[in-house]
Amino acid sequence: MDVLFYHLTESTLEEALPPLVEKSLERGWRVAIQTGSRERCEALDNWLWTWREEAFLAHGTDRDEHPEHQPVLLTDVSANPNDAQIRFFVDGADPGAVDGYERAVLMFDGHDSDQLNAARQHWKTLKSAGHAVTYWQQGPDRRWQKKA
């Protein structure tokens, strides 16, 4: 399984996450976004409805009715009620076991030493578990550049 590490250096998670989720939906994948806390889950829930003036990103949370019907599901736990094919781990969420997905994406703030150190540890753990890991970093133009 592919595990992608996205190192945020030029933009915030709120700026970088929605376009990646949209690309996942274009592939026909259901999406799960796991946050490090319930508070961040609720904040992203509000943000995704208004992140762009001309559009919103339809989604739900694991506390909403019928989470299994959501194309994009926000959660702070490891369950996968919407049968997502791709799972994003953000704000320090622990990826734990990532089996059962087409792809896992760990997004971390390069200006937060705790997130940076955790990402390094997750890289070692997931690579030693046999997953195909790749590392992407933002360039000055905010575009993703594959580094490893």
Q: Model confidence over 4-22: pLDDT tens digits? A: 999 999 999 999 999 999 9
**Which domain, by its residues, includes 82?**
2-146
**Structural domains in the chain (count):** 1
pLDDT band at residue 97, thresholds of 50, 70 and 90? confident
Residues 102-124, mean pLDDT to the nearest whole number: 96
Range from 7-11, 73-77, 96-100, 112-116 carrying the lowest mean pLDDT = 96-100
What's the pTM?
A: 0.95
User: How many of the other CB atoms lie within 10 Å of CB of 81?
Assistant: 16
Strand ranges in 60-111 using DSSP code E only, listed in sequence order: 60-61, 72-75, 86-89, 103-109
Residue 85: which region, alpha, beta or left (left: phi > 0; alpha: psi -120 to 50)? alpha
pLDDT at 3 over 90: yes
Q: In what order do the strands lie in the sheet with 2-8?
A: 60-61, 72-75, 31-34, 86-89, 103-109, 2-8, 132-138, 144-146
Q: Is the pLDDT of residue 54 over 80?
A: no
The pLDDT of residue 55 is 73
In this structure, what CATH number is given to the domain that contains residue 21? 3.40.50.10110
With a cut of 80, say whether residue 89 has pLDDT above it.
yes
Does position 87 have pLDDT exceeding 80, yes or no? yes
Mean pLDDT, the chain, as a whole number?
A: 94
